């Protein structure tokens, strides 16, 4: 994983010792190139993992002596050809011109508005030595992370909080606001812009920041446009346009000097990626190794995995399916990273499968692992608000047809569907807020000590009032408003990619151009003939295996989770028993309650055991990062 970092001392003192400390703190990170650079009041550094063909031509930090600009970052530009023309780059330099050099030229042309002209996955920081100003940018969904600490004297930044925390003048204190999100799921909407480390903040998506002696500024440069509307002559014209954009998004993300691999769950989104990627790679005479989670040999015969749907891709000649069973692994496996590299205790309980996928990709020599994440915002949008929109626009025949098809397909009661999908989205905002407010007082099952809960609940009145006034919930009768809310939610909470070592997870369905296209498509192509997620079903007709194209169900990601959970319970109990009565983590975590929950676990539907126990275990490991909670 590429990690960049730097320190800007506003009093222009020497910062180079700080970046040396930051680099040393990253000795656990493998890389192809490490480098440091410094000038008066500024010091930058980077550990780079090469991946795209052009990345082999750059060593960051890169200093442009002519323009007195230096850059660090984790970047993959997807509109390089367009930028060549806009920036008047000599065609002879296309191949060797690296992304960093292109960004500097873009900055010279557009200034701090440069990101409005960039497409791809990126986070970078550049130092303008002439203006004595630091500028940082994230892409439209913050697919690459950027964190910072700022105390008016020193601005410290890095890909992850770890190198920032290595400095003595950065306090290592847990952010209590984040603990509140463990009590109330709604509180998270107020604290997406914070990290789990007090005074260390993530730069959110589509944001440009700048720092100089006059202070710190940030600006959002892109939000989804709900006013743009596309029209098509017919469904075939839509499918042609859809394929062109999706194929471009996938083609951009198979640019790697290493073998390309992909995840395949058997669902619509990952299947769409594999279908397209296989065809793109076939034109390059390349194969595609895919990784699919399935049940191990000897599993409970009553459990069913997605192997039937996964195996449909055996029809494609250049696709090789690798079954991943992650035998012996479970939610309690490989948690040491919570104390070192992972910067939040919010692991999903099936994290063991994701790690197994990354290990398998690495064994095949891959550094580019394609995933199907984000489809629900674009190509497989469920169509929330579409039926209400048909009603509002008096498209009665379309609405009646869809409701009848839903009843025939899923057995849904006609009036139940009409209430949920037609009437409810049209409630006035005042009534919708009253309905939402009833859910704000709900407290979820948690693992925190009663004293901590009381301390946090003292803030609850303020948080409750703020949440009531935040227009983040509810369903609109405009489907584009609902779809854009999903995109904005991801923009708000996205803090970069997972650390999979040298393997980079790439999600073509998060492509900016693709999201904008899918948002602008009319509603009668998002729900049709009773089907939700119709865009991808229609757009890849003839490419998706029919068994997957028209399926309306999806099996669990890890169907044997309960078996794995039960197998690891003895280890979990032993871990909890070893936490002595004077252990400082008990100040935060109710260890005795966790013990009771491990004893009473009975079924996968038991919310306390399914969610609260792993959450508590992960929090204990994570707290060990802080001096106050170490033994």
pLDDT in tens, 183-231: 877 777 788 889 999 999 999 999 999 999 999 999 999 999 999 999 9
Give the tens place of pLDDT for each residue, 411-422: 888 888 888 899
Q: Whole-angstrom Cα distance, residue 199 to residue 212?
A: 19
The list of the chain residues with pLDDT below 50 reads 468, 471, 604
* Cβ–Cβ < 8 Å for 320, 361: no
* Domain ranges across the chain: 3-220, 235-379+492-549, 386-448+462-479, 561-629
**In this structure, are strands 133-138 and 207-212 parallel, antiparallel, or unpaired?**
antiparallel
Q: Given this model, what pLDDT does residue 601 score?
A: 55
Three-state SS annotation for 428-453? CHHHHHHHHHHHHCCCCCCCECHHHH
* Cβ–Cβ < 8 Å for 624, 630: yes
Q: Where are the alpha helices (DSSP H) in 87-131?
A: 99-110
Write phi, then psi, for 123 (nearest 5 degrees): -145, 130
Q: Bridge partners of 212?
A: 215
DSSP string, 370-428: E--TTGGGTTT---TTHHHHHHHTT-HHHHHHHHHHHHHHH---HHHHHIIIIIGGGS-
Q: Whole-angstrom Cα distance, residue 462 to residue 460?
A: 5
Write phi, then psi, for 457 (nearest 5 degrees): -70, -20
Q: Given this model, what pLDDT does residue 604 score?
A: 45
Three-state SS annotation for 141-207? CCCCCCEEEECCCEEEEECCHHHHHCCCCCCCCECHHHHHCCCCHHHHHHCCCCCCECCCEECCCCE
Token pair 């996968």 is found at 604
Q: Given this model, what pLDDT does residue 600 score?
A: 62
Q: Whole-angstrom Cα distance, residue 10 to residue 277?
A: 48
The conformational region for residue 538 under phi > 0 = left, psi -120 to 50 = alpha, else beta, is alpha
Q: Whole-angstrom Cα distance, residue 353 to residue 360?
A: 10
CA–CA distance from 198 to each of 191, 227, 239, 369, 481 (Å)? 12, 38, 48, 33, 33
What is the DSSP secondary structure assignment for residue 504, as one 8-state letter?
E
Q: Given this model, what pLDDT does residue 111 score?
A: 97
What is the DSSP secondary structure assignment for residue 459, as one 8-state letter?
T
Q: Whole-angstrom Cα distance, residue 142 to residue 123?
A: 7
CA–CA distance from 579 to each of 171, 174, 310, 349, 587 (Å)? 26, 20, 43, 22, 12
Give the tens place of pLDDT for each residue, 510-568: 999 999 999 999 999 999 999 999 999 999 999 999 999 999 999 989 999 989 998 99
Architecture of the domain whose range is 235-379+492-549: 3-Layer(aba) Sandwich (3.40)
Q: Whole-angstrom Cα distance, residue 97 to residue 300?
A: 55
pTM: 0.94
Token pair 């650390």 is found at 499
Residue 599, H or E segment: helix 591-600
Q: Whole-angstrom Cα distance, residue 6 to residue 25?
A: 13
**In this structure, are strands 201-202 and 215-220 parallel, antiparallel, or unpaired?**
unpaired
Q: Whole-angstrom Cα distance, residue 490 to residue 463?
A: 21
Q: Given this model, what pLDDT does residue 493 score?
A: 82
Which among 448, 425, 421, 445 has a CA at the least distance from the CA of 435?
Answer: 425
The arrangement of strands across the sheet holding 215-220 comes to 62-64, 69-77, 120-128, 133-138, 207-212, 215-220
How many alpha carbons lie under 13 Å from residue 542 in its C-beta half-sphere?
A: 5
What is the DSSP secondary structure assignment for residue 56, as one 8-state letter?
G
3-220, what's its fold? 3.60.20
- Rounded to the nearest 10 degrees, the angle between the axes of helix 512-520 and helix 235-253 is 160
Q: Where are the alpha helices (DSSP H) in 470-543?
A: 479-493, 512-520, 534-539
Q: Whole-angstrom Cα distance, residue 29 to residue 45?
A: 14
The arrangement of strands across the sheet holding 201-202 comes to 33-39, 42-48, 3-9, 154-158, 147-150, 201-202
Name residues whose C-beta falls within 8 Å of residue 583's C-beta, 6 or more positions apart in sequence. 591, 631
Q: Given this model, what pLDDT does residue 224 score?
A: 97
């Amino acid at each position: 994983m590429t990690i960049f970092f730097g320190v800007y001392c506003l009093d222009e003192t020497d910062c180079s010792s700080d970046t040396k400390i930051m680099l040393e703190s990253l000795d656990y990170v493998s890389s192809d190139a490490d480098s440091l650079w410094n000038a008066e009041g500024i010091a930058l550094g980077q550990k780079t993992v090469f991946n795209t063909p052009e990345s082999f031509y750059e060593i960051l930090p890169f200093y442009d002596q002519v323009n007195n600009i230096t850059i660090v970052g984790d970047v993959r530009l997807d509109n390089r050809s367009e930028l060549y023309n806009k920036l008047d780059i000599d065609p002879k330099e296309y191949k060797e011109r690296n992304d960093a050099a292109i960004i500097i030229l873009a900055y010279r042309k557009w200034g701090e508005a440069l990101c409005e002209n960039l497409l791809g996955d990126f986070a970078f920081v550049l130092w303008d030595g002439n203006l004595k100003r630091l500028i940082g940018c994230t892409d439209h969904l913050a697919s690459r992370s950027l964190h910072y600490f700022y105390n008016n004297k020193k601005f410290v930044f890095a890909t992850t909080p770890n190198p920032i925390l290595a400095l003595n003048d950065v306090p290592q204190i847990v952010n209590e606001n984040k603990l509140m999100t463990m009590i109330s799921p709604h509180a998270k909407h107020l604290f997406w812009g914070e990290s789990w480390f007090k005074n260390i903040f993530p730069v959110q998506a589509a944001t440009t920041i700048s720092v100089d002696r006059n202070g710190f500024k940030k600006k959002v440069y892109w939000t989804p446009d709900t006013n743009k509307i596309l029209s098509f002559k017919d469904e075939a014209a839509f499918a042609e346009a859809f394929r062109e954009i999706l194929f471009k998004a996938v083609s951009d993300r198979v640019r790697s000097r290493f073998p390309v691999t992909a995840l395949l769950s058997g669902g619509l989104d990952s299947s769409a990626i594999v279908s397209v990627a296989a065809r793109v790679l076939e034109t390059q005479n390349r194969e595609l190794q895919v990784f699919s989670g399935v049940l191990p040999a000897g599993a409970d015969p009553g459990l069913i995995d997605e192997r039937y749907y996964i195996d449909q891709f055996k029809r494609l000649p250049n696709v090789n399916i690798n079954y991943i069973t992650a035998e012996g692994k479970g939610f309690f496996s490989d948690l040491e990273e919570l104390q070192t590299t992972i910067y939040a205790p919010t692991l999903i309980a099936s994290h063991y499968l994701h790690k197994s996928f990354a290990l398998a990709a690495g064994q095949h020599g891959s550094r580019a692992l394609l995933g199907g994440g984000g489809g629900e915002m674009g190509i497989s949008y469920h169509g929330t608000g579409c039926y209400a929109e048909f009603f509002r626009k008096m498209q009665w025949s379309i609405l009646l047809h869809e409701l009848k098809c839903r009843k025939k397909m899923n057995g849904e009661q006609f009036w139940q569907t009409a209430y949920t999908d037609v009437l409810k989205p049209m409630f006035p905002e005042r009534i919708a807020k009253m309905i939402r407010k009833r859910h704000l007082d709900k407290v979820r099952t948690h693992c925190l000590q009663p004293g901590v809960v009381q301390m946090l609940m003292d803030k609850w009145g303020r948080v409750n009032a703020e949440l009531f006034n935040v227009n983040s919930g509810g369903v609109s009768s405009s489907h584009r408003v609902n779809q854009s809310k999903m995109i904005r939610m991801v923009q708000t909470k996205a803090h970069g990619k997972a650390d999979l070592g040298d393997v980079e997870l790439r999600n073509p369905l998060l492509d900016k151009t693709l999201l904008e296209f899918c948002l602008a498509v009319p509603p009668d192509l998002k729900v049709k003939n009773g089907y939700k997620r119709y865009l991808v079903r229609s757009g890849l007709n003839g490419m998706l295996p029919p068994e997957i194209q028209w399926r309306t169900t999806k099996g669990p990601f890890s169907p044997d989770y309960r078996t794995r959970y039960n197998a690891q319970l003895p280890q979990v109990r032993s871990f909890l028993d070893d936490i002595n009565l004077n252990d400082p983590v008990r100040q935060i975590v109710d260890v005795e309650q966790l013990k009771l929950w491990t004893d009473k676990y009975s079924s996968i539907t038991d919310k306390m055991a399914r969610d609260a126990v792993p959450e508590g275990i992960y929090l204990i490991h994570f707290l060990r990062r802080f001096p106050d909670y170490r033994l």
